[in-house]
């Protein structure tokens, strides 16, 4: 049986970035992930991702996903005023709206072109034996490796098999639909509402995505009665101008979108990256950045660990703790900045959680200017060392 240097479980942006970096350095890398199905949400890529993509040799992936430039964000949050954040004032420059399936595929192909091998199966069992990992696939085979990477996204299959607790923040469900873009503004739009918050952006191929983020119970209610979606849209001030409820939208897709994190980001010869390690609410627009960042930093820590140097491994885990704290602080302050519906269940739950979390934080010295939910303005959380 072949023993791989590194087995990467997951072929999302985190798994692909990590695999590419390791394979390029001559390590034997096997990616295990079932073929992708279904439409993917998550198309806003902040400008700060550019240097990461460049360092990973993945700029071509942006072109292959027909990324459209995004020059700013508009948000109506905390008041009816529409506030614009123009990326011209952002040191990271403009962001992009991606064709997400194409982006993920381009990253995956780049990893394969660097020498990684793909096994298109699910992981079923994981055990450690004689200093090696033995991983059982859904086709019945067992693969062996020296190092194991948990990159399976929110399903965090490896962490579950290793019995590492995964903590969930307040649940959030995102209901997304895609329709035709009728040439509206290319900027993203975020608008809060009494039941949660809306988001819309143009995506490549003259399409537009429209998302509503709500509590789990309300999402289930809308799924049972889809006409509620149009009713809620009609109550918005800006979103309804951009997204006509009567035009041809796809069926609603529901995604778990709340924050979550692993109690430990790694251990003996294993490491978690991307959403598996730390999942963030879409309000932050940091998921892809986090996936690329942890993919790169995780790969560097893994290469060092395989040479017997554990310093980067420890450093990686402590950095992720800081990222999680900064993410929490930003998210709580964003929610605190919307006070128009204090008695509505969505906002009541968010405000209560925010107060608890902010009280737990030692450093909450942020100004409210930093708290507007521009959906791509938080990247400094991860970019600061």
Ligand X SMILES: Cc1cc2nc3c(=O)[nH]c(=O)nc-3n(C[C@H](O)[C@H](O)[C@H](O)COP(=O)(O)OP(=O)(O)OC[C@H]3O[C@@H](n4cnc5c(N)ncnc54)[C@H](O)[C@@H]3O)c2cc1C
How far apart are CB 249 and ligand X at their closest, in Å?
A: 15
The enclosing H or E element of 254 equals strand 253-256
* Beta carbon nearer to ligand X, 24 or 275: 275
DSSP state, residue 63: H
Specify the stretch interacting with ligand X by CB under 6 A; choose among 82-90, 221-229, 284-292, 365-373: 284-292
Site string for ligand X, 44-73 (x = CB under 6 A): x-----------------------------
The contacts of residue 184 (CB under 8 Å, 6+ apart) are 202, 208, 242
Q: Tokens standing for 79?
A: 């008041």
In this structure, what are the phi and psi dihedrals at residue 380, rounded to the nearest 5 degrees?
-60, -20
Site string for ligand X, 290-329 (x = CB under 6 A): -x--------------------------------------
* Beta carbon nearer to ligand X, 78 or 274: 274
How far apart are CB 103 and ligand X at their closest, in Å?
A: 10
238, 239, 241, 244: CA torsion to nearest 10: -170
Q: Tokens standing for 60?
A: 């071509």
Cα 260 to Cα 52, 167, 168, 173, 192, distances in angstroms: 23, 5, 4, 13, 22
Of 153, 258, 259, 266, the one binding ligand X (CB under 6 A) is: 153
**Binding residues for ligand X restricted to 170-209, rule: CB under 6 A:** 174, 176
* Beta carbon nearer to ligand X, 276 or 357: 276
Q: How many residues are given for the chain?
A: 385
The verdict on 11 binding ligand X (CB under 6 A) reads yes
* Beta carbon nearer to ligand X, 207 or 358: 207
Query: Nearest CA to 271 among 234, 245, 304?
Result: 304
Q: Tokens standing for 337?
A: 């900045």
Where does this chain bind ligand X (CB under 6 A)? 9-15, 32-34, 36, 41-44, 122-123, 151-153, 155, 157, 174, 176, 255, 257, 274-276, 282, 285-289, 291
């Amino acid at each position: 049986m072949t023993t791989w240097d590194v087995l990467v479980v997951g072929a999302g942006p985190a798994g692909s970035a990590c695999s590419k970096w390791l394979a390029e350095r001559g390590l034997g890398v096997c990616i295990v992930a079932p073929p992708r199905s279904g439409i993917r949400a998550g198309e806003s890529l902040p400008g700060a991702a550019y240097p990461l993509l460049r360092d990973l040799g993945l700029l071509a992936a942006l072109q292959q996903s027909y990324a459209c430039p995004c020059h700013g964000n508009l948000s109506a949050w905390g008041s009816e005023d529409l506030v614009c954040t123009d990326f011209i004032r952002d040191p990271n420059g403009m962001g992009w709206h991606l064709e997400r399936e194409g982006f993920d595929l381009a990253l995956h192909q780049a990893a394969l072109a660097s020498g990684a091998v793909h096994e298109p199966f699910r992981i079923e069992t994981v055990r450690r034996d004689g200093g090696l990992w033995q991983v059982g696939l859904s086709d019945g085979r067992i693969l062996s490796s020296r190092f194991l990477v948990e990159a399976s996204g929110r399903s965090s299959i490896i962490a579950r098999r290793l019995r590492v607790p995964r903590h969930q923040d307040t649940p959030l469900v995102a209901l997304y639909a895609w329709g035709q873009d009728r040439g509206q503004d290319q900027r993203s739009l975020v608008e809060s509402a009494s039941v949660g918050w809306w988001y819309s952006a143009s995506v490549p191929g003259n399409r537009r995505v429209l998302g509503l983020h709500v509590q789990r119970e309300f999402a289930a209610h809308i799924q049972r009665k889809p006409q509620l979606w149009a009713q809620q849209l009609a109550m918005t001030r800006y979103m309804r101008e951009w997204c006509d409820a009567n035009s041809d939208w796809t069926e609603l897709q529901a995604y778990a979108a709340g924050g979550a994190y692993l109690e430990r980001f790694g251990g003996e010869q294993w490491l978690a990256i991307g959403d598996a390690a730390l999942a963030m609410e879409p309000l932050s627009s940091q998921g892809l950045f986090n996936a690329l960042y942890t993919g790169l930093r995780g790969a560097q820590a893994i290469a060092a660990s395989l040479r017997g140097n554990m310093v980067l491994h420890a450093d990686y885990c402590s950095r992720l703790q800081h990222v999680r704290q900064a993410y929490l602080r930003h998210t709580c302050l964003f929610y605190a900045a919307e006070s128009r519906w204090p008695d509505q269940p969505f906002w009541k739950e968010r405000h209560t959680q925010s107060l608890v979390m902010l009280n737990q934080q030692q450093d909450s010295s942020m100004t409210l200017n930093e708290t507007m939910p521009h959906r791509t303005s938080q990247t400094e959380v991860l970019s600061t060392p």
